[in-house]
Amino acid sequence: MAGLDAAQQHIWNITEPVLFQSGVAMRPGQPPWFLGAMGKTKVVSKNISALALITEEASRNLARQLNLSPRDVTFGLTKVDVRGTLAQALCPYKTGRFAPPCSAERFRRYDGYCNNLQNPYWGSANLRYLRFLPPNYADGISSIRADSRGRPLPSARTVSASMFLDQDRPHDHASMMTVAWGKFVFHDMAHTAQSAGFEGSRIKCCDVAEGFEHPECMPIDIAAQDPYYGRFGQRCLEYVRSSAAPRETCGLGPREQNNQVTSFLDGSTIYGSSEAEAKFLRAFEAGQLLSQRTPAGEELPPADLATLDCRRSAQDPPCFSSGDPRVNADLGLALMHSVWLREHNRVARSLQGLNPQWDDERTFQEARRIVGAEMQFITYNEFLPALLGPEVVERFGLRLENQGYFRGYDARRLPGVTNVMAAAGTWALTSASPAQVELFDPARFQRLGSLPETAFRPQELYSRLKQIAAGALMQHAQKMDNFFSRHVTQDMFASSNRAIPVIHNGTGTTMEHICKKRKVLRTQVTKLIKECLERLDRLTQSDASVLHARLMSLHAELNAVNSRFEEILDDDQAETEYEQIFEYNDRIVTVLAKLQQCISNPTGNPPTTQHENNAAQATTTSKIRLKLPRLELTRFSGRRHDWQPFWEVFEQVVDKNEELSSVDKFHYLRASVTGDAAAALAGLPPTARCYSDAVELLKKRFGNEELLIQEHMKKLIDIQPVRSSDDVRGLRRLYDTLAAHIKGLETLGQKHDSYSSLLMPIVQRALPTDILLDYSRQCLIATTSSSDEDEESTTDDASESSNETKK
């Protein structure tokens, strides 16, 4: 293992300094820089990761020598005894007589050590995250995940673009203050470090010359046809691996990730997770934290003039400093830090007034103790019931005692934060963020800016803190679901996507959970359809309405789950999956139509005359018996270039069919769309009024003529050349492709003259060389013949003119 230590020292002392001096490092102000700010690496994390990387390489060498399978590595290497090795000598987690002493004290330590007297390190800062399931690395140690057959998984960007769509889905009762509190609490318990380079520099992974790649780089590939980044020619997204963490025994096994803060809800986001951080933030006077006052008298966190982790011009006031480096990430977080700084100082002033004999240290620690308890009380008494619902809170014993104190402390229970929670928790809260940030002043909402415009720009708090706080209380959050504002998935950091790293790091089991969820949903759908069909003949109008609403809800959920992975299916799986999806859609739509008929014509209506009965029967027959041939309806998955042919058929067969009601048309529309298009309609109920809304929504999103023209032109530009004139199939395919896009442009009102100058070079580039030469030769011959004929005609005309003159 000494040789491995030397190899790691070579990376630290030679490789990283050379990369840094060569300019291969992220520059402040670049979009990925701010994403890296969310995982800013502390010095102690950098030092701890060195040992983790040594044991990781030792595990890899041992697995190679012993020909261990990934399963053997995951479940076997962790049991290897490393006592007496370099790993144990360098291990920062000392046990037995080497462990720092613990004693029962009134105040918590900043780093969480000794919170559990029997297991002092449990829950402390700079420990690895816990796991519900073993990691799923391709080699069992640290290499990026692969599929079940060992093949590379789709790019995380491809998955993100397919799964995370943009829809406005306001929450019924949660406000943006709820989201801000969720992030504040999450940051108090989890902070994943991003691997850092020389002297803490941020590693650059894209556009790096061969031989200058940092070993912790794992850049994300972008497809040339990416719907957003493809327009800019960007083919790579920056991604640096999370900092590695050793096990408590510093033993061998798969790579783990480091949590830089305590796992306890203890106010570390206010005070920091080390004594040094706390000293930097304290005023050392009357138990106060450092703060600053605005000209209007508002108390705010202290200014941080040195930070590069915020957007600030020369004219802007400085950003803020606090116990967590993510304080400036968004206005909601900065607001929370300001509120709790004020609360600490308010409590400290009250305690000092009641206990003037207390010194600064006692006052500070007592105030810190009270503030931590306040945070815990608000979280368990108000936040969790609002987030999870009272039933879940009750089921898992999260409700506070009505009287007295909690008596269920168990020193044997490990209090760490789980890896999957740290990886996905904050992004789940990000999905609840609306596209625009609003303030409230006075008695009206005012747009402050979009998420990208306000990210890492907290300076608005200097002048409009009360208005921002009122806006956070009044503005509705979004529902916590699959849907992210495009500002998050595309624009937030211009060349980064906040949803992508969660997918790329592969620490969770997302796709497995999706498959399980779909299985449960399909079972529920089958049961509900069976119930509907069994009760159909005796349903009342109210019963039919309830069943219709239940089935619609399950249908929307099932469509959302299907859309999350159908765009990234393997080719050999796609046909089977689509057949199952279409089968379930057909069954659901059929039963929904029957339920709708029951709602419109319920049993138990007053008797009608024979004439009315015959008329109603004729009308009903025309509605029920009319069933469109399935072959006449094409399906639309959300690919923009497929919209035009799909809509032309659907418009003629369904939309303009006067025999169909708007509700029926809506059912046919739902049955005809999949993927992104289905997800776009998932939240609309199948009512007559919503059918026109659904059509307008699809036209606006997929039928924009300017975008369709751009799509056709891009397809023409990207057309694949044919290399040989003997490739008859390739030439036929080239002709068909050109004809299709030219016809499409013509349908959109684009005349040949408007793009012919661009089309000719495209065609010439796509043709084989011999055909192109032959074409050029024919053009030259035709031009020469035309010139000879013109010259001969001119000579004849001149001769005739001369003869006339002589006459």
Residue-wise pLDDT for 220-261, tens only, equals 888 888 877 777 788 888 999 999 999 888 889 999 999 999
Residue reference for tokens 């989201």: 179
Sheet strands (E) in 32-169? 127-128
Q: Helix crossing, 541-565 with 510-535: angle to 10°?
A: 160
296-330 b/e (C-beta count within 10 Å ≥ 16 → b): eebbbbbbbeebebbbbeeeebbbbbbbbbbbbbb
300 pairs with which residues across the strands? 292
Residue of 300, 268, 291 whose CA lies nearest to 376: 268
Which residues lie closer than 8 Å to 245 by C-beta, 6 or more apart? 48, 49, 52, 126, 127, 128, 129, 256, 257, 258, 259
Question: How far apart (Å, rounded) are the C-alpha atoms in residues 276 and 86?
Answer: 29
DSSP structure class, residue 417: P
CATH class of 509-603: mainly alpha
- What is the predicted pLDDT for the residue at 377? 94
Residue of 216, 259, 208, 205 whose CA lies nearest to 50: 216
Q: Which residue type sits at 250? A: C
- What is the predicted pLDDT for the residue at 484? 66
Model confidence over 365-394: pLDDT tens digits?
999 999 999 999 999 999 999 888 888 888
Residue of 657, 701, 705 whose CA lies nearest to 679: 701
The domain ranges of the chain are 2-158+192-259, 268-404, 509-603, 619-703, 707-794
Long-range contact set of residues 225-230: C-beta below 8 Å, sequence gap at least 24: 225/718, 226/157, 226/158, 226/161, 227/161, 228/161, 228/490, 229/157, 229/495
Q: Sign of torsion, CA 492 494 500 505?
A: negative
Task: Give the three-state DSSP class for 231.
Answer: helix
Question: How far apart (Å, rounded) are the C-alpha atoms in residues 247 and 271?
Answer: 27
Question: How far apart (Å, rounded) are the C-alpha atoms in residues 486 and 160?
Answer: 11
Angle at the Cα of 157 (from 155 to 162), degrees rounded to 5? 105
Question: How far apart (Å, rounded) are the C-alpha atoms in residues 583 and 434?
Answer: 35
- What is the predicted pLDDT for the residue at 507? 38
DSSP 141-197: SSSPPB-TTSPBPPPHHHHHHHH------EEEEEEHHHHHHHHHHHHHH--BPBPB-
Pairing of strands 256-259, 127-128: antiparallel
Stretches where the chain sits below pLDDT 70 are 1-6, 96-98, 164-167, 443, 481-514, 516, 563-576, 578, 602-634, 682-683, 686, 705-707, 752-758, 779-807
On whether the CB atoms of residues 236 and 156 are closer than 8 A, the answer is no
Long-range contact set of residues 116-124: C-beta below 8 Å, sequence gap at least 24: 116/411, 116/415, 117/411, 118/411, 118/412, 119/411, 119/414, 121/93, 121/248, 122/414, 122/415, 122/416, 123/262, 123/263, 123/264, 123/414, 123/415, 123/416, 124/262, 124/263
Which residues lie closer than 8 Å to 355 by C-beta, 6 or more apart? 362, 363
25 pairs with which residues across the strands? 203
On whether the CB atoms of residues 443 and 435 are closer than 8 A, the answer is no
- What is the predicted pLDDT for the residue at 572? 52
What pTM was estimated for this model as a whole? 0.62
- What is the predicted pLDDT for the residue at 678? 79
Task: Give the three-state DSSP class for 446.
Answer: strand
> What percent of the chain is predicted at pLDDT more than 70?
81
Q: 104 burial class (0-12, 13-18, 19+ CB within 10 angstroms)?
A: exposed
Residue of 746, 739, 732 whose CA lies nearest to 644: 746
Residue 337, H or E segment: helix 331-354
- What is the predicted pLDDT for the residue at 505? 54
Q: Sign of torsion, CA 222 224 226 232?
A: positive
Number of neighbours of residue 228 by Cβ within 10 angstroms: 15
- What is the predicted pLDDT for the residue at 13? 78
Question: How far apart (Å, rounded) are the C-alpha atoms in residues 281 and 302?
Answer: 8
Catalytic residues: 187
Task: Give the three-state DSSP class for 350.
Answer: helix
